[in-house]
Amino acid sequence: MEKNKQRHIKRWLTPCEQVEHLKGKGVRFALVSEEWAVSYLSKNNNYFRLRSYRTGFSKVEEGPRKGQYANLDFKMLVDLSIIDMLLRYQMLPMTLDIEHFAKVRLLERIEEAGEDGYSIVRSFLASYDETNSKGEVFNSAKNEIRRGSSSPYVAGILAKYPDFDFPAWVFLELVSFGSFIYFYKFCADKFDDKKMMDEFYLLQSVKSLRNACAHNNCILNEMSAGKPMFRARNAVSMAVGGVSAIGKGQRKSKLSNDRLQQVATTLYVHNILASEGVHQHRSESLHAFVLRMNKHIEYYEGNDQISSGFEFIKKLVDAWFSPEIVDSEKTTLDSVCS
């Protein structure tokens, strides 16, 4: 019989103890006082989240400070957490824009194919029919839609279609982003449309970032190169390669990081899909974000992982979203925290 492994339970540290713990790891308190840090940890941020940004900093390899962080101040962790929050605030509405315009594009494609809008939805829903061990037929797609019957936003629509016989333009208002993407793939297969299939994979990447932003996951606490779960789509890789300011080495390095790859994919898809007006609105917001991102860029001198990650995002924004003159003293992004 396998022996039970003893659980390692960490004690809950008070904000004062958290500061002491950080000091023991070599974190400095030169840019802000320890008292300020204690107050910040008490009222503004979760210690576990904040300390996750330490992974982007190197440690001393020898001498009396071996194993401690070489150049990390508490204010840098705070700055990164704010920038990360603001990045999520940029990416989440952009993913919603993408979902909207992808739905518009799909409806146009269904019409071009001569579909009536009903039969293709019936076929898609039927593809989810399964039979359990008791011989009962169940359908996960219909079950997902059925759960909306208690929603004040779609209950009225569902009441008009009790038999699930939706036209495509109604169906797209009822399903989750994930289900919509698989309907997109279903249509791509039916129409034998390679371009649509490529777009399906792009939308999957966008959805992953959308979910991370919606669940308030940290993004910028890991920007190192590595082996991504999925390779960047050719269209994204080529578009990034077409940015003159980004060299081949930087493109390969940054797209090998899942998080930066998804950010790049979302920026790329939004650039090619959104309307001119929406694109311009996001452009202004993105350039305000870039200003805030680089406000304390001197903190990260000598830290290639962070400085080059910021540089990569800035280059994509500059290339794909027309720059606007943004007053850093007036922008609301800048006023979030100095």
Residue 130's SS3 state is strand
Distance, in Å, from the CA atom of 193 to the CA atom of 105, rounded to the nearest integer, reads 13
Q: Looking at residue 7, what DSSP letter applies?
A: P
Instruction: State CA 246 to chain mean position distance.
Output: 21
- Residue type for position 204: Q
| The predicted structure's pLDDT at residue 238 | 96
Name 138's bridge partners: 130
* Predicted pLDDT at 4: 59
Q: Which residue has the tokens 């850093």?
A: 328
- pLDDT value at residue 3: 56
**Gyration radius from the chain CA atoms:** 24
How far is 282 from 97, CA to CA, in rounded Å? Answer: 10
For residue 326, the model assigns a pLDDT of 47
Cα distance between residue 201 and residue 233, in whole Å: 8
Strand partners, 131: 137
pLDDT on residue 60: 83
CB atoms within 10 A of CB 42: 13
Sorted by sequence, the CB contacts under 8 Å of residue 18 that are 6+ apart come out as 41, 47
| DSSP symbols for 133-146 | TTS-EEEHHHHHHH
Phi/psi at 59 (5° precision): -115, 155
The residue type found at 124 is: F
DSSP-assigned letter for residue 221: T
Q: What integer pLDDT is reported at residue 335 of this predicted model?
A: 47
pLDDT tens figures, 191-231: 999 999 999 999 999 999 999 999 999 999 999 998 999 99
Per DSSP, the residues of 109-120 read HHHHTT--SSHH
Would strands 137-139 and 129-131 be described as parallel, antiparallel, or unpaired? antiparallel
- Asked whether 335 and 292 are in contact (CB, 8 A), the reply is no
Q: Which pLDDT tens digits describe the chain residue by residue (338 residues)?
A: 455 566 667 777 888 989 999 999 999 999 999 999 999 998 888 888 898 999 889 888 888 888 888 899 999 999 999 999 999 999 999 999 999 999 999 999 999 999 999 999 999 999 998 988 888 888 899 899 998 888 999 999 999 998 999 999 999 999 999 999 999 999 999 999 999 999 999 999 999 999 999 999 999 999 999 899 999 999 999 999 999 999 999 999 999 999 999 999 999 999 999 999 999 999 999 999 999 999 999 999 989 999 999 999 999 999 999 865 444 444 444 444 55
CB 258 within 8 Å of CB 209? no
State the pLDDT at residue 6.
63
Beta-carbon contacts of 131 under 8 Å, excluding residues fewer than 6 positions away, are 137, 138
Rounded to whole angstroms, how far apart are CA atoms 319 and 251?
14
For the chain, how are helix, strand and coil distributed in percent, rounded to 5? Answer: 60, 5, 35
Which DSSP symbol is given to 336? Answer: G
How far apart CA 290 and CA 87 sit, in angstroms, is 9
pLDDT of residue 35: 95
**DSSP line for 224-271:** -----SSPPPHHHHHHHHT-TTS-HHHHHHHHTSHHHHHHHHHHHHHH
Question: What angle in degrees, to the nearest 10, is found between the helix axes of 304-320 and 258-273?
Answer: 10
Burial of 235 per CB tally in 10 Å (0-12, 13-18, 19+): middle
